[in-house]
Structure 1
Amino acid sequence: MKVVILAAGYGTRLEKDLKHVESEKHSHLVGLPKSLLPIAGIPLLSYWIRIFKKVEIIEHVYVGTNSKYYEQFKCWAKEWPEFISIVSDGTTDNHSRLGAVGCLDFVCQHFDLHGDMLVMAGDTLFYEDFYLKSMVDIFHKMNEKLPASSLVPVYKCLDEDTVKHGILEVLPNETQVINFLEKPLPQATTSRNACPCFYLLSSHAVTQVSKFLDEKSHLPLEEKDAPGHFLKYLHTRSAMFVYNISGRFDVGNLMSYEKCNNYFLHSKKH
């Protein structure tokens, strides 16, 4: 299995926060891509590389970034030259970005990637009780029974936070996805299954990425950028199931970064 990490964003929310905070405490964060922010002194993505190295079925990691951060990622990846490949999508600012799904398609085409794949946002970390091998094992058993299936994690969010997340509805007492809602009002659904960008995609699902972009090519970037838009498209074309996790961190702004950093600073496993 290959891993594709989407890290071509420009961190505009975090950058804005840092400009409004005059503190030496945060000066070391300026100019860093979110995926390489120090979490308890370790680059965020390095936590994931440690995890991937323990899962034998994972063959290689591909990181899609942009021209602004390309050299920083190349420098970071030198520790694992045989395990990580970096590519820039050639964009230089937030206005020219390809979007998350566009980045995924670019990486797959650049490296000619096929087969089952783990796709994840580069600014995400899970709580330390997450066990990737368990999720991968379930994914493979699921595909033996129902080929072309995909598996995505969900965690319970607060009522008021549905408007911040992609929400998955599942069959009662089951795990199969029946609907996807992008940032719905809490009264629009009884589901509180928030879904982060961390997808175990079957080989069939991977082939749907370019098809999705072709069909949505006439739409503005905002209507096809978020990976949740692809999930909404995908679950109507092949089976999708959920895997429950206890929670996750998204270092999109300074507050969420500090929350994540503090968690790992005080982690018993760190």
Structure 2
Amino acid sequence: MSPTKKTLVIVASSTKETQIERDIKDRYDSKFLRYRGVPKGLLPISGRPALSWWYEHAQDKFDCVYIISNAYNFKHFERWASGVNFPRENILNSGLSTGILQDLAFVHRVKRIQSDIVITGADIIPTEAIHNNHSELFDNKRNFIKTIDDNPAIFGMAFELLQGLDDYIEKVAPTADADQHSRLKLYIITKAFNASVSKLSADDYPMLSYVDASISLQSYLDTWQFCKDDDFNNRCKSFKFQTEPLHMRAYARVGLMGNPSDGFYGKTMSLLISNFWAEVTLIPNHADDQEVEAITILPNPVSDPHKFSSLECLVGVSQIDGYETGDRLLQACCKVFYLHCKKNNIPINTRQGFRMMFETNIPRQVGLAGSSAIITALWKMLSLFYGVTQEQISLELQASLVLKVEWEELGIAAGLQDRVIQAFGGLVYMDFDREYMEEHGHGRYESLDVGLLPKLWLAYVADPDDSGKVHSAVKQRFLNGDQEIIDAMQKFASFTEQARTCLQKKNHKGFAQLMSNNFDLRRQTYGDAVVGASNLRMIELARQHNCAAKFPGSGGAIVLTTNGQDAETEAKDLLQLRRALESEGFVFLEITPMVYDNH
């Protein structure tokens, strides 16, 4: 008795280029460069890869679908799979294919298929005939084939025939070598083809003839590129498309107290500032765009240049900024956002895609949370675009997920403080108690009145070194249970508790003293070599001019306030401090807090 299950095997293993693929390689205009090396079955038909139309129709008719690719095109099909939820493990790399029979033997051997199979190519475009009138083609009780110029397009074969074919050849030709065995097998299957030819013809259903390997690029442009537009337009009718570009900002922050204990189950106080920001722009695709579902990352010409005025310019930019571009932040954020929504059954409609880019004026590598600002801005943008509310993803959870983007996806060492303040805005007291964190996945966060703060100023290094090295040794000592580090982190936390009390009592002098204490403990804990000479110099200059100062982040900048002297003396000290800092290449400015309306 025949098995009741059915398997679809999509053969895309040929290493021989089709005419379309050869024609594309002869074109060097930007419209076609993006399609160089793309298999014909993945070229867009009315905005979607040809294979997507076929797979959408076929996936509910088969218990399992496999794609046989080769060493050259495997990555293309793997990328296609990620956009249609096709199982990656069902894309098989046959290496350099030596023929369809060997490929079918390969998939049968690897996946141990125990069902009727249907064999097709990757470049079939389904027609109304396949959609509606010929469902019997998928009946496992009959073998069938559709041929175009003697090339099989769709061929079904019962499991018993496939299973028995090798046994039959072994019986009738026991002395045949491997090459003769393959030729006999091909002869028998060809006979089965001829005996099972469908009555459908290419003239009656010309959409099937896209499989013809000799179809040219011009034919594709004239006939095939938009041949599914009616299907495409019907998909769009019931969907309300967004049309206007959207903008979203997230701002830099300064850690006022307790840092770096946020990464060590401590307590911190942080302030969002409006002086610097990252802004994400999202431009929705139009309903009539041929790739309406596509997501495109547009490069920022300064932060993520993809074009350079000269080779010297490329080298200069590489020496100053390195190679870690911001595109990866956007890409990783989209991944975490989508997977979280999917896992937690938060409905988002991905039918409309968009182009996105970011720009930022947050100084790089000075510990003002520039990377997390870019991610936070995009996270808030995605929530707006897809209609995800704070009831579905709370601000507390948003901060934890933004940290996940950096820590788990990109391997960026970071703590929760930056993401919390960029989620909530204003002035926030944060308690990262270990037991509470492990139970809830986030800390206790309390918004405080920004009006309680004294005036604050910021100074930072104009030409900074990498700030990401500051935590390295201390973190490992903490994980190893080093009591000195554990005690230091508890002391940082106590500074934060005292600072909140000082603010509530308007004790700005006490708050300033705690800022100085915070830096002194940091210097003692990390050592001068890690703190860095330029950072020590900024602190020294601040103290010489009667100001209390500490790091707002991981290094490269200081946040400072006066020690409570009279207004005339304060103004004089600040002017002299500014001149001293600027004369040594530092930037100095007054901080302006940023408060969100989260209601």
What's the TM-score bracket when you normalise by the shorter of the two chains?
Answer: 0.5 to 0.7
Name the structure 2 match of 1:151: 144
Q: 1:4 corresponds to which letter in structure 2? A: V
Measured on the aligned residues, the alpha-carbon RMSD in Å equals 3.5
Please state if 1:234 is matched with 2:192. Answer: yes
After TM superposition, list the pairs within 5 Å mapping 1:1-270 onto structure 2: 1-13=6-18, 14-55=20-61, 58-78=62-82, 79-82=84-87, 85-91=90-96, 97-126=97-126, 128-132=127-131, 134-137=133-136, 140=139, 143=141, 149-153=142-146, 165-166=149-150, 196-207=152-163, 217-218=178-179, 231-235=189-193, 240-244=196-200, 246-247=205-206, 248=208, 249-250=210-211, 252=213, 253-258=216-221, 259-264=223-228, 267-270=229-232
The CA distance in 2 between the partners of 1:213 and 1:76, in whole Å, is 38
What is the alpha-carbon distance in structure 1 between the residues aligned to residue 52 and residue 138 of structure 2? Answer: 24
Find the aligned partners of 2:169 and 2:33 in 1 and give their Cα distance.
38
Aligned residue type for 1:206: L
Unaligned regions of 5+ residues in structure 1, if any?
Answer: 92-96, 144-148, 156-164, 167-194
Whole-Å separation in 2 of the counterparts to 1:11 and 1:38: 20
Provide the rounded CA distance (Å) in 2 between the counterparts of 1:232 and 1:15.
28
C-alpha distance in 2, partners of 1:211/1:7?
A: 27
Distance in 2, matches of 1:107 and 1:260, equals: 31
Asked if structure 1 preserves the Cα contact closer than 8 Å seen for 2:13 and 2:94, the reply is yes
Structure number with the higher strand fraction is 1
Change (3 A) 1:130 1:22: same
Superposition TM-score, scaled by structure 2 size: 0.31
CA spacing shift, 1:54–1:84, aligned 2, 3 Å:
farther
Letter in 1 for 2:90: S
Give the whole-Å Cα distance in 2 for the aligned partners of 1:70 and 1:250: 19
Alpha carbons of structure 1 residues 231 and 43: separation in structure 2 relative to 1, 3 Å: same
Q: Deviations over 1:38-70 (max 9, x none)?
A: 222211211112102343xx1111000011222
Give a deviation string over 1:193-219, Cα, whole Å, max 9, x none.
Answer: xx6421122113333665799879436
Q: Structure 1 residues 224, 90: CA separation in 2 closer, same or farther (over 3 Å shift)?
A: farther
Cα offset for 1:230? 6.0
Letter in 1 for 2:37: G
Aligned pairs, how many?
212
**Change beyond 3 A, Cα 1:235–1:41:** closer
CA distance in 2, matches of 1:256, 1:24: 19
Bigger shift: residues 33-42 or 249-258: 249-258
Residue aligned with 2:134, SS: helix
Structure whose CA Rg is larger? 2
Q: Letter of the aligned partner of 2:190 in structure 1? A: K
State how far apart, in whole Å, the 2-side matches of 1:203 and 1:38 are: 34
Change (3 A) 1:114 1:233: farther
What SS class does the counterpart of residue 130 from structure 1 fall into? helix
Q: Distance in 1 between matches of 2:219 and 2:168?
A: 31
Distance 1:118 1:202 in 2: 9
Change (3 A) 1:216 1:28: farther
CA drift of 1:132 comes to 4.8
**Identity across aligned pairs (percent)?**
18
| Higher helix content, 1 or 2 | 2
Deviations 1:103-138 (A, max 9, x none): 222112211113211110112224x32225753435
